[in-house]
Amino acid sequence: MPPPATYLDYAATTPTDPQVVEAMLPWFTERFGNPSSVHRWGQMAEQAVEDSRRIVSEEFGCRADEVIFTSGGSESDNLALRGAAHAARAARGADHLLISPVEHDAVLHTAEQLAEHEGFELELLPVDAYGQVAPQDLTDRIRPSTALVSIIYGNNEIGTLNDIEGLAAVTRERGVPFHSDALQTTSQLKVKLDQSGLDMLSIGAHKFYGPKGVGALIVRSGTSLTPLQTGGSQERGARAGTSNVSLIVGLAEAVRLAGQRREADSARFRELRDRIIQGVIERVLGAKLTGHPTERLANHCSFVIEGIDGNELLAALDLAGFACSSGSACKTGDPEPSQVLLAVGLEPQLSLGSLRVTVGRHSTDDEVRAFLVALPKLVERLRSSQPIPQ
């Protein structure tokens, strides 16, 4: 059976832009050199990697040598957390980690492992009902022994944006490294390293029309990081291994296109988003928006629906031709209520009925209209055939 015709899951991943594919192709075949080689095959590849680094640095308002290419968002998050935690402990004995309770698993599970196996003390910051961390709560909890603070920029499950600049004012004053997982923001928000006040920022190409398996950690110079992957001196020693030239070129092209299209894209996303949010709330009895009503990702709609099992709804939507999600792609098949939804104070039973609808460059008015017709019917059908005890 072909996959559902209507893709409404752009927060999980996006199609690679044909222009990005085009830019990558020669670096697989006729320009296959190893950028570490001295001969001209190598020089050509090295030039491509360094050109890519410059493109990324211009977009994120940093220096080229502040960009570390990685294999994606998860690796960037791991490098930020483990790298900064180990460096801070070595330099000043700092062993306290402060993260929000609404992080992606790439941050959460990494911090948990640092706590369980390496003796760091993990503290979760409070969040409000929208999943935002208040700068005052960070002020109250940050300590001289805090090795690192990590707070997600735009939430993948509930869409909420954090006040990164306000939070960074706190970490800067205390001289504590501040990382943000910004995987979801690149296609819609202009994020400049300096302006944000961040010390580290994770990005990943497949969330903004680039290829899977490549990302970057942007690290303000002066931030100490212990490398995770040791070997050659690639990425100035921060990440050993032969550079993935073609994917790095693809990442840079996707970053460049995101910069060009951001304004138009986000205006369009916002229009479709608001139509979906309004339509679902109006037409589906017992549906409630999760995350912040306005301070949210431009392409992101998320709900909980009373008396519904989220996974059953996703399966029904899939059969009806709509690809949606219940939150994070990694949660598929997992019957546990989402930690993020519990952290924002939702009842476990209600949080099992979550639905995430995210739009993208290829979304159309017709798709949104059809979705808003189909969803209420499917919810009705699921409710009548399988009542879930409250």
Ligand X SMILES: *Cc1c(COP(=O)(O)O)cnc(C)c1O
Catalytic member of 62, 301, 324, 330: 330
* 306 alpha carbon, distance to own chain's centre: 27
Q: Which is nearer to ligand X, 131 or 215 (CB)?
A: 215
Q: Scan for tokens 């760091």, then name that residue.
A: 120
Whether residue 76 contacts residue 203, with contact meaning beta carbons closer than 8 Å, is answered with yes
| C-alpha–C-alpha distance, residues 8 and 26, integer Å | 32
Question: How, if at all, do strands 215-219 and 67-70 pair?
Answer: antiparallel
CB of 222 to ligand X, least distance (A): 25
The region of 67-75, 119-127, 191-199, 232-240 touching ligand X under the rule CB under 6 A is 67-75
Is residue 204 involved in binding ligand X (CB under 6 A)? yes
Whether residue 162 contacts residue 133, with contact meaning beta carbons closer than 8 Å, is answered with yes
Can you tell me whether residue 316 is helix, strand or coil? Answer: helix
Lay out the site mask for ligand X across 18-37 (x = CB under 6 A, - = otherwise): --------------------
CB of 385 to ligand X, least distance (A): 33
The region of 202-210, 261-269, 289-297, 380-388 touching ligand X under the rule CB under 6 A is 202-210
Whether residue 324 contacts residue 317, with contact meaning beta carbons closer than 8 Å, is answered with yes
Q: Which of residues 181, 235, 253, 367 is near ligand X by CB under 6 A?
A: 181
Q: Which residue is nearest to ligand X (CB)?
A: 73
62 has catalytic annotation: no
Q: Which of residues 131, 159, 197, 215 is near ligand X by CB under 6 A?
A: 215
Cβ contacts of residue 190 below 8 Å, gap of 6+? 259, 262
Nearest to 355 by CA among 299, 317, 298: 317
Is residue 79 involved in binding ligand X (CB under 6 A)? no
Range 104-143, binding ligand X (CB under 6 A): 104, 106
CB of 184 to ligand X, least distance (A): 5
Is residue 156 involved in binding ligand X (CB under 6 A)? yes
What tokens appear for 60 in the block? 């994120």
Q: Which of left, alpha, beta for 232 (phi over 0: left; psi -120 to 50: alpha)?
A: beta
CB of 315 to ligand X, least distance (A): 22
* 107 alpha carbon, distance to own chain's centre: 10
CB of 331 to ligand X, least distance (A): 12
| Residues of this chain that bind ligand X (CB under 6 A) | 72-74, 77, 104, 106, 152, 156, 181, 183-184, 204, 206-207, 215
Active site residues: 330
